[in-house]
Amino acid sequence: MLPLGMTYQVKELLLGDLTSPYANWFNTLSPDVATKVVTAKLRMQQGNLSSVEWFRGIGECKIDFGAGWRIYIAKDGLQLIVLLGGGSKKGQQRDIDRAVDLWHDYKQRKLLVTRKSKSSTTPRKRKE
């Protein structure tokens, strides 16, 4: 939990082609399930992660409704939650494996960007 009054930024993971695995999944949901997912997302933004179980570097937010819906997330720093995707209890292991792979890919891309930006801002020594 965050200190009182603090909130999380909750953002979708974007792949290199600018698609979002979370949005792709969310757009397939029925309106009643989508409402439950939006409610869970709003609770996360408010700092309520009581429905999240953490393992393998990711979190699984369980929604007690219908087919046992889940949202897969990861934390990047202290206040950013990255939405990786979702699914139901039926495809849970496949969805977990995909979320873990997406999270590892995200961290690798972030590391490369960080290294490139550091190397381009490091002053070069002048030859004398």
Q: For position 6, what pLDDT does the model report?
A: 77
Q: For position 113, what pLDDT does the model report?
A: 84
**Domain spanning 9-116: CATH 3.30.70:** no
Q: What are phi and psi of 126, to 5 degrees?
A: -80, 140
Q: For position 3, what pLDDT does the model report?
A: 63
Q: Mean pLDDT by 10-residue block, N- to C-terminus, for the chain (128 residues)?
A: 77 96 98 98 96 97 96 96 98 98 95 79 57
Distance, in Å, from the CA atom of 38 to the CA atom of 95, rounded to the nearest integer, reads: 19
C-alpha gyration radius of the chain: 18
